[in-house]
């Protein structure tokens, strides 16, 4: 393909400078914008329609996961590579669900970053070696006793009780949690399972054997 038009999104100026310097030292890239936050990134993506966005995960305001979701909804042809210090499974799978096509850990070599950008610009998905191993492990692991691997153990407990038809107060009492904590867990569960409401979550959970069904 021709020149790859890239937007860099990171709330640390030093990181943005380093990424710009790295890409400008390589052939075939044009940096069309740099932003420090998700809201600004969405606006610039709509205006500039970059081929690839290099997106930090942890930012103030709209974080990288939500910014990715919004950019993919507004400019679906733009590919997003998450570039972050965070390798935990929740972050990896949240990025994937938001529409990220690549996930590279900060500290990756110039060659790895270059390869990731060129791959997603060509319509492929790419993940750093450590991330790829964990994704593959989850996808190939037996699902017996562990439905919804993207959920934490506590979130799975809460979902199990939701699927059993218990309300938030009953769940809070059974798990010795504050009602507000239960509410927060349920909001996170809905986001991770991509469901709109409690009834949809119950159907999905019972399909996987939760709720004593």
Residue 168 lies in a domain: yes
Q: Average pLDDT, stretch 160-181? A: 92
What CATH number is given to the structural domain containing 51?
3.40.50.2300
Asked whether residue 103 carries a pLDDT value surpassing 70, the answer given is: yes
Do residues 107 and 178 both lie within one domain? no
For the beta carbon of residue 117, count every other beta carbon within 10 angstroms.
Answer: 26
Cα–Cα distance measured from residue 207 to residue 29, given in angstroms and rounded to the nearest whole number: 47
Asked if residue 40 is part of any domain, the answer here is yes
Give the DSSP letter of residue 101: S
User: pLDDT confidence of 181, banded at 50, 70, 90?
Assistant: very high
Q: How large a percentage of the chain has pLDDT more than 90?
A: 46
Q: Are residues 65 and 161 in the same domain?
A: no
Global confidence as pTM:
0.62
Burial class of residue 76 (count of CB atoms within 10 Å of its CB; 0-12, 13-18, 19+): exposed
Domain count, the chain: 2
Q: Are 66 and 104 found together in one domain? A: yes
Shared-domain flag, residues 161 and 132: no
Does any domain span residue 213?
Answer: no
Same domain, 105 and 200: no
Q: How far is CA 199 from CA 46, 165, 193, 205, in A?
A: 35, 10, 13, 10
Domain end among 113, 138, 163: 138
pLDDT band at 136 (very low <50, low <70, confident <90, very high): low
The verdict on residue 80 lying in a domain is yes
* pLDDT above 70 coverage of the chain, percent: 87
**Start-to-end CA span in the chain (Å):** 52
Containing structural domain, residue 198:
153-207
Sorting pLDDT into bands at 50, 70 and 90, what band is 196?
confident
The answer to the question of residue 114 being in a domain is yes
- Domain end among 87, 109, 138: 138
- Is residue 44 within 8 A of residue 33, CB to CB? The reply is yes
| Residues ≥6 apart with Cβ < 8 Å to 204 | 193, 195
Q: What is the pLDDT of residue 126?
A: 78
Task: Identify whether residues 13 and 116 lie together within a single domain.
Answer: yes
Cα dihedral 23→28→31→36 (10° resolution): -40
Residues 43 and 14 in one domain: yes
CA 3/CA 28 separation, integer angstroms: 5
Whether 92 and 189 share a structural domain: no
Phi, psi dihedrals of residue 33, rounded to the nearest 5°: -165, 155
Residues 93 and 121 in one domain: yes
Is 147 among the domain residues?
Answer: no
Report the pLDDT value the prediction gives residue 159, as an integer from 0 to 100.
94
pLDDT at 20: 93
Are residue 31 and residue 67 in the same domain, yes or no? yes
Q: Can you list the positions of beta strands (E) in the chain?
A: 4-9, 29-35, 52-55, 79-84, 102-105, 126-127
């Amino acid at each position: 393909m021709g020149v790859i038009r890239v937007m860099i999104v990171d709330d640390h100026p030093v990181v943005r400078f380093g990424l710009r310097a790295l890409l400008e030292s390589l052939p075939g890239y044009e940096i069309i914008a740099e932003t420090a936050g998700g809201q600004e990134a969405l606006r610039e993506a709509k205006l500039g329609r970059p081929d690839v966005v290099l997106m930090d995960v942890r930012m103030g305001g709209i974080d990288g996961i939500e910014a990715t979701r919004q950019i993919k909804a507004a400019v679906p042809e733009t590919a997003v590579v998450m570039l972050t210090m965070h390798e935990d499974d929740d972050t990896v799978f949240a990025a994937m669900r938001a529409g990220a096509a690549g996930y590279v850990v900060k500290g990756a070599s110039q060659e790895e970053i270059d390869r990731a950008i060129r791959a997603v610009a060509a319509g492929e998905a790419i993940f750093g070696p450590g991330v790829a191993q964990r994704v593959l492990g989850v996808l190939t692991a037996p699902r017996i006793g562990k439905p919804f691997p993207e959920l934490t153990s506590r979130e799975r407990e809460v979902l199990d009780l939701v699927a059993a038809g218990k309300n938030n107060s009953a769940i809070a009492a059974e798990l010795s949690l504050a009602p507000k904590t239960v509410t927060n867990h349920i909001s996170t569960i809905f986001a991770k399972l991509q469901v709109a409401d409690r009834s949809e979550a119950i159907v999905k959970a019972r399909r996987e054997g939760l709720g004593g069904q």
